[in-house]
Structure 1
Amino acid sequence: MKNFEALGLSQPLLDGLAEMGFETPTEIQQQSIPILLQHDGDFIGLAQTGTGKTAAFGLPLLDLIDINSRDTQALILAPTRELAQQICGQMEQMSQKMGKLNVVPVFGGASIMNQIRDIRRGAQIVVATPGRLMDLMKRKEVKLDSLKYMVLDEADEMLNMGFKEDIDFILSKSDTGRNIWLFSATMAREIKRIVDTYMVQPEEVRINRENIVNTNIEHQSVQLKASDKIEALRRYLDYNQDMFGVVFCRTKRDTQKVADELNNNGYATEALHGDMSQAQRDAAMKRFRNKNLKLLIATDVAARGIDVDDITHVIHFALPDDPEFYTHRSGRTARAGKKGVSLALITKGDNRKLKYIASKLGIEFAKGEVPALDAITEKRIARWSENLKKQEINPKISDELMNDVVAQFEELSKEDLIARLLTKEYNSIYKRNSIKDVNDRSKARDDDRGGRRERGRKNDRGKEEGMKTFFVNLGRKDNINKGALLGYICDVTGISGNDVGRIVLDGAHSFMDVKEEVAGQMLKLNGTNRDGRELRVDEHHGKVVETRDRGGRSGGGYKGKRDSGGGFKGRRSDRDDSSSRSGGFKGRSRSNDDRSSRSSSDGGSKPKGGKKGSGRSKFFGKKWD
């Protein structure tokens, strides 16, 4: 195994690497760096995400740049702003012992005037996303006369995101006197076209296929109902105090929903998706890098470029369709020789896809189980006991105060006092978690495609067993929906959302099913005020009947569910990728993270079909009310 000294790098770079703690180069670095330092020509490096490609091109590039010249000598193209920022930061770290070097990141979603100012000051290296770089080139703010190196990082991802025309424009406008260094995970057809069109007899380094999947990653799968996936995440977080990971969802909506539900139950998480502003995304990533979050909930596109150390778990809330995406995701854990877990939360319908991914990547998924509540309780109590023993006594506690408190507990034995402390901790665990067995697969199928959800058996009144029904004098006329009602009641009573079953929202009142063990807490609502209305809550023993009165409901019409940002002419896809639709079927609008600054607004339209005033939708039906 070679070290960095053996690769031919200059001493200032070696000093910078030593300060960063880099000791042993990865395989792509070992093979690429000597070639790039000596070969004056084009180059292709094929390796997966997480194999150290940034240093593989960044180190030789830094050694070849003339830092005494203020001209732009190198352009690095990246698919997303997060990856562009990451590359820029790593280049600055690696060059810290070299002297003054100006590396400027440019990307959409940030002030173009500030970026122009930074470039005019003299940028030897520009790290850019394609769309913003095109804008700057057309404004003649990026001068390519002195360009020597063009690096395409994650080239396959740029093409997948719809940057084909942008890359062609950039390469065609910088086709004299520069070398192209292309790095990609795959040699797709479009990559081959770029090679044939723009590159001349390139040197190539290809990491062996068997080395694509990190052998330090343990691949696990857990089969459960889709409606139990968030509960499963909570159980894993409660069981493993040191969990620090990324959860991948299929859509922006799912990403936000998962983050919101976890946060509402006291877990430190953050969403990351394409609808967020650059400032919001930067804040989320800063919190994650500082380990102020346990989980980052992200879509595939938004998560590209995330490079955070010590990630213990990658969790697939929904499996990707492409095995390559699975590799990209799981590669964010088990870095720098450490161990990691890639956990797939699957439904029964996902088994065929899981087998396909395993076959294509040559890996095995160990079948796992969601931690049972008893196991969580045992582990947390043991941790609590250990922490209590290690608790340092505050020297500011006076003898008088100590004697007073001892006197108050004089009648209790040591065992009684411990039992009371233990009960308090024990109750907090059970208040935070559902008592259901999420590993029970005997219930009706429920999958990610919107299958029927069965929370439990119901009696002849429609109420789930083990629950009580309560009447609440709040309804649609009070400008409230089910989500707002649930949130308000949970805030006031301390009941968890998992303790609540059916909610029937009517014009002037509502009915709610609550687990028997916490049902008494509902009475805390009596006498409280919401927007000037005094609340009344009673246990309801009769049959719950929903009236046909829809009057007073806010939200714009009752004939169908209206989704923000689109009309009723088609169901809106909120997939966070370049093929997502922004409205109905009348027109398609391509969007991606780099072009988030080019916003478009979609107008709503009235639904077709359905009887006037019927309260039903031709498309969705009454259940969406």
Structure 2
Amino acid sequence: MVSFSELGINKAYIKGLKELNIINPTEIQETVIPILLGSPTDLVGLAQTGTGKTAAFGLPLLNSIDTSSDDVQGLIIAPTRELVQQIQKQLFRYTKYIGEKIFAEGVYGGEKMDRQIRALARTTHIVVATPGRLLDLVERGAVDISNVKILVLDEADEMLSMGFKEDLNKILKYNTKKRNTWLFSATMPEEIKRIIKNYMAPDAVRIEVNKNALVNENISHHYIQTNIKDKLNMIMRILDKRQDERGIIFCRTKAGTRTLAQQLQHEGFAVGALEGDMQQKERDKVMRAFKNESLQVLVSTDVSARGIDVNNLAFVLHHQLPEHLDYYTHRSGRTARAGKTGQSIALIIPGEMQKVIDLQSALGITFREITM
């Protein structure tokens, strides 16, 4: 097994990683770090969430910062506020023991702009941002990205599916001459290929991590045959059996999410809802309760669950299967993170078996039936 020091990571960073319990590099870290430390290059990484991407791009990015300059030299763009906060926190922890301080600032919507403008007025070497808020700040002159040496796009496919295409194109048009772009995505839709073609070097290094596994192989896939009126009972029986486990139940609509959460709360289950119409304050409150385990289960829509990274989720439950294959990958990828195992369970009503068959062949996975 290769160690971080063999990959070329400086001792002070390794000490910080050790405190985070990051001892051995994951596959993506082992592949990507030597390339990005080696010589300036553009890079396209095809990788699922939960594979250790943050350290894979974060450590080489930190390594490239010249602390004698106050310029913003690194820019990381991610789809959700949660992911931005998480990346910024990781960078801060990695740098705990290094000599010169590297300053990273996180900016995202749902928070007062003037606080972020004040924070950016201090020395900032790396900005971690959601696309919309970053663009606002650039257009107001609150942040100068013309000297960025490295631009990282994390979960690029998520950003496009959340409607950030125009914002991303505007950001990508800045300072193309001077910078290297590192793009990470779990899937490669046409739009992502277009970004690669338009804004990245033709000789960009391409990395695919465990390419046969579109879905993390530590997840087991199951379905339960039921009908519409029995779904609620079925979910309660599943939760009863798993009282000390945590998970997420996915619904297709905001209204369905709210209704199911209320029904389960009414039955005494410790659940909270996450959906698009919630205020950011409520959302943060639910996420805090989920992280500190006073809530056992989240009921969520696809979009609202983006960027949630909570360790030790034992299961994902699909109230209905999603419309898109990619969504199944993203949903089930919330469990089995950091080398743990997890279960993905779909409730199937008559006539939906074909969907299960389609998912199996498209994603190369096998569903097993659970009978209750």
TM-score band, normalised by shorter chain: over 0.9
Structure 1 unpaired stretches of 5+: 371-625
Question: Which residue is 2:311 aligned to?
Answer: 309
Report the TM-score, using the length of structure 2 for normalisation: 0.95
Aligned to 2:103: 102
Distance (Å, rounded) in 2 between the aligned partners of 1:196 and 1:240: 47
1:263 maps to which residue? 265
**CA distance in 1 between partners of 2:321 and 2:315 (Å):** 15
Contact 1:137 1:143 in 2 (8 A): yes
Equivalent in the alignment of 1:49: 49
Query: Larger Cα Rg: Structure 1 or Structure 2?
Result: 1
Match of 1:33 in 2: 33
Find the partner of 2:355 among 334, 353, 356: 353
Percent identity, aligned pairs only, is 50
**1:9–1:257 CA distance, 2 compared to 1 (3 A):** same
Name which of 274, 277, 280 aligns with 2:276: 274
Contact 1:321–1:353 (CA under 8 A) maintained in structure 2: no
Task: Give the partner amino acid of 1:60.
Answer: P
**1:128 pairs with 2:129:** yes
Tell me, in whole angstroms, the C-alpha distance in 2 between the residues paired with 1:58 and 1:284: 28
Structure 2 equivalent of residue 230 of structure 1: 232
Q: Please say if residues 251 and 320 of structure 2, whose CA atoms lie closer than 8 Å, have aligned partners that are also in contact.
A: yes
Is the CA contact (8 Å cut-off) linking 2:51 and 2:338 kept in structure 1?
A: no
| 1:161 corresponding residue in structure 2 | 162
1:28 touches 1:52 (CA, 8 Å); kept in 2? Answer: yes
**Matched residue of 1:209: which SS?**
coil
Q: Which secondary structure state, in structure 2, belongs to the residue aligned with residue 25 of structure 1?
A: coil
Instruction: Report the alpha carbon displacement of residue 143 of structure 1 after superposing the two structures with TM.
Output: 0.8
| CA–CA separation in structure 2 for the residues paired with 1:102 and 1:92 | 8
Q: Is the 8 A contact 1:16 1:95 kept in 2?
A: yes
Checking the alignment, whether the CA contact within 8 Å between 1:44 and 1:205 is kept in structure 2 is yes
- The residue aligned with 1:559 is none
Alpha-carbon contact 1:73-1:149 (below 8 Å) kept: yes
Equivalent position amino acid for 2:103 in 1: N
Select which of 345, 359, 369 maps to 1:367: 369
Q: Matched residues in 1 for 2:176 and 2:32: separation?
A: 23
1:72 alignment counterpart: 72
Partner of 2:17: 17
Q: Which residue of 2 aligns with 1:193?
A: 194
1:340 paired residue number: 342
- In structure 2, what is the Cα distance between the partners aligned to 1:3 and 1:369? 45
- Contact kept, 8 Å, 1:86 with 1:305, in 2: the verdict is no
Question: Aligned-pair distance for 1:110?
Answer: 0.9
After superposition, what is the alpha-carbon deviation per residue over 1:536-585, rounded to whole angstroms, capped at 9, x for unaligned?
A: xxxxxxxxxxxxxxxxxxxxxxxxxxxxxxxxxxxxxxxxxxxxxxxxxx
Gaps of 5+ in 2: none
Among candidates 295, 298, 301, match of residue 296 of structure 1: 298
- SS of the residue 1:348 aligns to: coil
Cα distance in 1 for partners of 2:352, 2:164 equals 31
Match of 2:152 in 1: 151
Shift of 1:249: 1.0
1:191 alignment partner, SS class: helix
The DSSP-based 3-state class of the residue aligned with 2:188 is coil
Contact 2:214 2:364 in 1 (8 A): no
Q: Deviations over 1:3-49 (max 9, x none)?
A: 32221111111001100011222211111111011121211111122
Residue equivalent to 2:247: 245
The aligned residue for residue 183 of structure 1 is 184
Partner deviation per Cα, 1:199-253 (whole Å, 9 max, x = no partner)? 1121111124313322221111001112222222211222222220111111111
| Counterpart contact for 2:317–2:346, Cα < 8 Å | yes
1:46-93, Cα deviation, whole Å (9 max, x unpaired): 112222212211121122223343321111111122221222222222
One-letter amino acid of the structure 2 residue matched with residue 289 of structure 1: K
Counterpart Cα distance in 1 of 2:243 and 2:345: 17
How far apart are the structure 2 equivalents of 1:35 and 1:141?
33
- Mapping 1:464-503, distance limit 5 Å: none
Q: Which secondary structure state, in structure 2, belongs to the residue aligned with residue 291 of structure 1?
A: coil
After superposition, the Cα gap between the structure-2 partners of 1:3 and 1:212, relative to the gap in structure 1 and judged at 3 Å, is farther
Question: 1:84 & 1:134 partners in 2: Cα distance?
Answer: 15
Asked if the contact 1:107–1:129 (Cα under 8 Å) also holds between the matched residues in 2, the reply is: yes
Output the amino acid matched with 1:264.
H
Equivalent residue, structure 1, for 2:92:
92
Cα deviation, residue 168, structure 1: 1.2
Structure 1 stretch 225-234 or stretch 290-299: which is displaced more? 225-234
One-letter code aligned to 1:164 = K
For residue 435 of structure 1, what is the aligned residue in structure 2?
none
Question: 1:303 Cα deviation (Å)?
Answer: 0.8
CA distance in 1, matches of 2:267, 2:68: 55
The one-letter amino acid paired with 1:153 is D
- Where does residue 553 of structure 1 map in the other structure? none
CA contact (8 A) 1:17 1:94 kept: yes
Give the deviation of 1:323 after TM superposition: 2.0
Tell me the CA shift for residue 280 of structure 1.
1.2
Report the Cα distance in structure 2 between the residues aligned to 1:82 and 1:106, rounded to whole angstroms.
11
Q: 1:197-596 counterparts in 2 under 5 A?
A: 197-200=198-201, 201-370=203-372
Amino acid at match of 1:36: L
For residues 281 and 239 of structure 1, the distance between their equivalents in structure 2, rounded to whole angstroms, comes to 27
- Deviation by residue 1:105-140 (Cα, 9 ceiling, x = unmatched): 111111011111111112211111111111111101
Secondary structure of the structure 2 residue equivalent to 1:174: coil
The whole-number CA distance in structure 1 between the counterparts of 2:233 and 2:102 is 49
Distance 1:86 1:228 in 2: 38
Residues 261-291 of structure 1: per-residue CA shift (max 9 Å, x gap)? 1111211111111111111111111111111
SS in 2 for 1:150: strand
SS in structure 1 at match of 2:212: helix
CA distance in 1, matches of 2:266, 2:301: 20
RMSD, aligned CA: 1.5
Separation in structure 2 between the aligned mates of residue 90 and residue 263 of structure 1, nearest angstrom: 34
Looking at structure 2, the residues matched to 231 and 88 of structure 1 have their Cα atoms a distance apart, in angstroms, of 41
SS in 2 for 1:6: coil
Q: Secondary structure at the match of 1:4?
A: coil
The amino acid of 2:89's aligned partner reads G
**264-273 or 93-102: bigger deviation:** 93-102
